[in-house]
Amino acid sequence: MKNCMKYQQSVIAVGFLFLALLVAPVAAAQAIQEVKVAPPTDNPTYIIGESDLLAINVWHEPELTRVLSVRNDGKITMPLIGELQASGQTVEQLRATIATQLKRFLENPEVAVIVQEPRSQFFTIIGKVMKPGSYPLGQRLTVIDGLALGGGFKDFAKVGKIYVVRTHRDGTSERLPFDYKKAIAGALALNFALETRDTIIVP
């Protein structure tokens, strides 16, 4: 009888192990799917920021083609040219600057600049949401868009007392209240656009 019970316990344990092995890859795949990655952009009006990854292509000049990360000082280093200010420039402004500088060495250089990974443009959601964290801001998003990326509210979230903390370039910050109930009820003027490094707080 004891041997029979031990055998049954062993079978059950093996069964649980088998289920765990089946579920683990699925859970891992779901976690990977939840990671949001901002797509590359060649939008000429995109303002480049620190840590953005830039793909710079000079036509027919492979030795000048580079993938560069904008340093903490806001600069990049290009062959022949040296250091260039990238942070604070639009994609078009940086492209034009590189092309102008290269005219000292090349005839009619054709330059393309793509922000391969817009790492500097992001916002954060914290508080009583299903998926708190930082999300890319590679396109225009409103507060409601940002909350949707957060996966919805948890129980007892005070959706009428949401606020956004906005940090300005000079280091100062301000608190912007957002009433979710009023916004979705039709007061769309309350649904303002997010800016980079905004933090949405859901109490």
Q: How far apart are CA 73 and CA 86, in angstroms?
A: 9
Which helix (H) or strand (E) element contains residue 114? strand 111-117
Confidence of residue 24 (pLDDT cuts 50, 70, 90): very low
**pLDDT grade for 28, boundaries at 50, 70 and 90:** very low
SS3 181: helix
Confidence at 176, pLDDT banded by 50, 70, 90: very high
Least confident residue range of 100-109, 171-180, 186-195: 186-195
State residue 73's pLDDT score. Answer: 93
pLDDT band at 18; cut points 50, 70, 90: very low
pLDDT in tens, 85-125: 999 999 999 999 999 999 999 999 999 999 998 888 889 99
What pLDDT, on a 0 to 100 scale, did the predictor assign at position 133? 92
Cβ pair 123, 197 in contact under 8 A: yes
Inter-CA distances, 176 with 3, 181, 185, 198, Å = 68, 16, 19, 10
Predicted confidence at residue 15, as pLDDT, reads 43
pTM: 0.60
CA dihedral over 185, 186, 187, 189, signed as positive or negative: positive
Domains in the chain, CATH or no CATH each: 53-117 (3.30.1950.10), 122-202 (3.10.560.10)
* pLDDT at residue 156, as a whole number: 94
